[in-house]
Amino acid sequence: MSNRENAIHYVKNNYINFESTLVELVKIPSISTSPIHQKDIRSAAEYIQTLLLKIGIQETKILETSGHPVVYGSYVTQQKDAPTVLIYGHYDVQPVDPLELWTTEPFQPVIKNDRMFGRGASDMKGQIVASLSAVEAVIQTGKSPVNFKFIIEGEEEIGSPHLHEVLETQAVLFKNDVILNPDAGMISPSIPTIVYGLRGLAYFELKIFGPDHDLHSGLFGGVVHNPAIVLSELISGMHDKDGVITLPGFYDEVLSLSIDEREKLSRLPITEEDIRKQTGVKELWGERGYSHIERTGSRPTLDVNGLLSGFIGEGSKTVIPAWAMAKISMRLVPNQDPEHVHQQLIQYLTENMPSTVSWDLKKFAGGIASMANTSHPGVIALEKALEKEWGTKPIYKREGGSIPVVAEMQKHLGSDSILTGFGLPEDNIHSPNEKLHLPTWRKGILALVHFFYEFAGENENK
Ligand code: BES
Ligand code: MN
């Protein structure tokens, strides 16, 4: 049997072990945004480090940052002149609220109907374990065709605010020929996907201050401007009737789509009906003049992610709230700059804020959009690998989600990332009842084994 066949057999004989590794990892509540989970973050990093050692990675380290730690690993094969694949992952997860909407415990993974339920099962602990399982198979069954490096961070879900510290100071550690980033999903279980573009992100918290305490709305309604109303008006002014964002200069830097790309995107097998099913909405919405596929991947958007003001308990209470708060974020496309968007938001607020209130704007971490070079040898190898496993060529698509480190790694390491993943649109990532479709995940492991051999240019029979 060839090395590749041996590795494929190894995977097929070890699904149960890979699954239990994933169960253990999902059990760790490594929520990066909340300081309460500091210890869990550390346990997840240590769990990954132990796992790297267990699968045969020769050198591992936990690299400290001023935020959460980064797990590093390096494996050098005996094969001469082998290329190096750097595998990127994040072991942190999103918060679980609203907890009452979960039908199982978010950190007690349960397998039902071929799916594993739990926070992070799909985004992206499942993808980390898929990658490490493929690596394990390749190095445990023969001479690995490639060298491996690992960079597995704990702050992706909060915009990777400290990863640049290790990228800047330890760039040599991460030298590679390609970065494999399995943090982007696929469009359906039968259609493997290569993601060639991601959106960037700018994220803000806006607070409007009215009276210095909550007021009786009977005594003061009519003389005090209600900050919840001020905030609502500001928010509703951020789009016009055509779904176009009104911040001054917002579209100035937006790179428009070429006719050729629009034509290719229009052929993707994703319908409006698919999106209605995934989301449960009656009708889609968005910027006039662009298709649903263009609007999620290639056009910038603005959303309110959270809204808080006044009395939100049961029943009624007649107050004019003292303040109102909104979390507002924009998904950005090439060539928009999050700092310019920040300035545009400030200008919009300055021009439209009534003089009856005061306000404060906080900026959170974000990042720029990224586009992949689709003729990179890594992309070509991945295309072949996915086709081997699925029996059909992958589709190429832009994703609306953000992975700001893709651009950061391009900047600091000069290396390209290839983006794929084995999560599905139905996985409920960032939502209650996150899940992972195990049959697709298992195929993903096999495809990654093929990828390593294809990238090294090693043929089937060696
Ligand atoms: N894995 C996602 C991003 C993603 C999802 C890309 C699906 C492609 C397809 C990632 O973990 C994520 O959610 N990122 C955050 C980044 C933000 C907090 C800076 C996002 O997009 O909201
Ligand atoms: Mn992710």
pLDDT tens per residue across span 21-51: 999 999 999 999 999 999 999 999 999 999 9
Q: What percent of the chain has pLDDT over 70?
A: 99
Provide mean pLDDT across the span 113-128: 98
User: Token digits for 392?
Assistant: 């059909």
Query: What is the arithmetic mean of pLDDT over 318-337?
Result: 98
Counting from 1 in the atom list of ligand 1, the atom nearest the Cα of 367 is 19
Q: What is the mean pLDDT of the chain?
A: 97
Phi and psi angles of residue 79, each rounded to the nearest 5 degrees, phi first: -65, 130
Q: State residue 458's pLDDT score.
A: 83
> Which residue has a Cα nearest atom 1 of ligand 1?
183
CATH entry 3.40.630.10 includes domain 3-198+369-456: yes
Residues of the chain with CATH 3.30.70.360: 202-254+300-365
Ligand 1 centroid to residue 214 C-alpha, Å: 37
**Cβ–Cβ under 8 Å, residues 274 and 317:** no
Ligand 1 pocket mutation pick from 92, 122, 163, 402 by most atoms within 8 angstroms of CB = 402
Residue 299, phi-psi category: left (phi > 0), alpha (psi -120 to 50), beta (remainder) = beta
pLDDT tier at 460 (50, 70, 90 boundaries)? low
Q: How far apart are CA 12 and CA 445, in angstroms?
A: 9
Q: What is the pLDDT of residues 284-301, one digit of tens each?
A: 999 999 999 999 999 999
Instruction: Count, in order, helices (H) and strands (E) of the chain.
Output: 14, 18
According to CATH, where is 3.40.630.10 located in the chain? 3-198+369-456
Whole-number pLDDT of residue 462: 56
How many A from CA of 177 to the centre of ligand 1? 24
**CA of 329, nearest ligand number:** 1
To test the pocket of ligand 1, the residue of 183, 270, 302 to mutate (highest count of ligand atoms within 8 Å of its CB) is 183
∠286-287-290 over CA atoms, to 5°?
A: 105
| Residue 456 in tokens | 């090294």
Give the count of alpha carbons within 13 A of 88, CB side only. 31
Q: Is 424 in the pocket of ligand 1 (CB under 6 A)?
A: no
Taking only the tens place, the pLDDT of each residue in 152-187 is 999 999 999 999 999 999 999 999 999 999 999 999
The CA 201 to ligand 1 mean position distance, Å, reads 10
Task: List the one residue out of 16, 109, 17, 29 whose CA is nearest residue 436.
Answer: 109
Cα(123) to ligand 2 centroid in Å equals 4
What is the pLDDT confidence band of residue 65, given thresholds at 50, 70 and 90? very high
Tell me whether residue 253 is exposed, middle or buried, using C-beta atoms within 10 angstroms of its C-beta: 0 to 12, 13 to 18, 19 or more: middle
Query: Residue 380 C-alpha to ligand 2 middle, in angstroms?
Result: 23
Which residue's CA lies nearest to atom 19 of ligand 1? Answer: 159
Whether 155 is in the pocket of ligand 1, judged by its Cβ within 6 Å, is no
Q: Is the pLDDT of residue 142 over 90?
A: no
Alpha-carbon radius of gyration of the chain: 24
Q: What is the rounded distance in angstroms from the CA atom of residue 96 to the CA atom of residue 108?
A: 12
| Rounded distance between C-alpha atoms, residue 160 and residue 403, angstroms | 9
Q: Which protein residue's CA is at the shortest distance from atom 7 of ligand 1?
A: 184
Residues 6+ apart with CB under 8 A from 276: 282, 283, 284
Fold topology of 202-254+300-365? Alpha-Beta Plaits (3.30.70)
